Amino acid sequence: MNKATLEIPIAGIPKKIDIDEIDINKLILDEENPRIGYWKDNLLMVDDNISQDDLVTALKMTNIDDYNRLKRSIESSEGIMQEIWVHPIGGKYKIVDGNTRSIIFMDLSRKYPHRQIYKKIRAKILPKDISEEGKNFIRLIAHLRGENPWGAYERARMLYILWNVRGQTDEELVNKTRLSLNDIKKWREAYKNMEKQFLPNYSHKLGALNKFSYFVEYENKKIKEGMKRNNLEIKHFCDWVGNDEIGKAQDVRLLQKIFENENAIQILKEDGFSEAKKELAFSIPSVSSPLFNNIEKVIIGLKNMTRSEEENIISGDEDGKRKLLINLYDELTKIIKRIRK
């Protein structure tokens, strides 16, 4: 491809960006990539001199399914749709965005040693004087709405670093990310709790990183108030999650209902979340029964049925709905008769 130059606003400042093909042997992986952060902080246990081989391992293994899916796509297309972003350093180029795509090119270059298409990769080349703020802007924006988006944990980690380490204000983050301030704060707090409280004890467990959504759910105001009111702490929540007592992220919301039930609260304190959920199910069957969960939805649906829909069913204009309601009535009648006996 021919070299091109564009003027692109980066963090609000216009910058001239060269677009060119770069030899993959001149690329340096970025240790600041949030995909690497989890492995660096919790699994690799390495210092700041993390090796390029360690970075390759982290990028591949953070989510091997996503890596293989993207690799198949690039191999099938024989290239990438979006250029990577790099920063020139002493004759080489440090990757600011596109680490995973770059190591896929390295893999494919070894798989197809005689094919030139994988020897070089298209890149947007940042100016040498680009600020750290500019590089962080590229990292964040590219992966919030990029070709290979970060997972929620990695995005939250980047938001936390920009705020806590780089000193960016909430207003700056809102303007750059287009996320709501509430979401930014929720993700930051969820990341902090997971990183400081959960991962030190449970990072060894398979799928630990996939529990991030549980900690986002935990940031509900009523849940946190209920925890405080009942002398429960984040470490208790970490244990419920880490010991697989909470089966899925949406189950975290059950804590609100547990905090409304004195028996369930006591059991939660003494025996944990799973036992408290069982207790709650006695008074709210939908908690543990898909059938009764659906019954609750049916009741709500019937209450919210419009007058026109009701009239159409009665008049026979919607015969399918009429038959379903009659079948429901017949089955309920059978059960109610047995209950009353």
The pLDDT tens digits of the residues spanning 193-219 come to: 988 899 889 988 877 878 989 999 999
pLDDT for 2: 64
Per residue, the 3-state secondary structure of the chain, as one string, reads: CCCEEEEEEECCEEEEEEEEEEEHHHEECCCCCHHHHHHHHHHCCCCCCCCHHHHHHHHHHCCHHHHHHHHHHHHHHCCCCCCEEEEEECCEEEEEECHHHHHHHHHHHHHCCCCHHHCEEEEEECCCCCCHHHHHHHHHHHHHCCCCCCCHHHHHHHHHHHHHCCCCCHHHHHHHHCCCHHHHHHHHHHHHHHHHHHHHHHCCCCCHHHHHHHHHHHCCHHHHHHHHHCCCCHHHHHHHHHCCCCCCHHHHHHHHHHCCCHHHHHHHHHHCHHHHHHHHHHHCHHHCCHHHHHHHHHHHHHHCCCHHHHHHHHHCCCHHHHHHHHHHHHHHHHHHHHHHC
Answer yes or no: is pLDDT of 43 > 60: no
Query: Which CATH class for the 4-144 domain?
Result: alpha beta
Answer yes or no: is pLDDT of 47 > 60: no
Read off the pTM: 0.62
- Residue extents of the structural domains in the chain: 4-144, 185-287, 305-340
Chain segment 90-128, per-residue pLDDT in tens: 899 999 988 889 999 999 999 999 999 999 999 999 988
Which of 56-65, 148-157, 239-248 is least confident?
Answer: 148-157
> Mean per-residue pLDDT for 280-296?
87
pLDDT for 149: 46
Answer yes or no: is pLDDT of 147 > 50: no
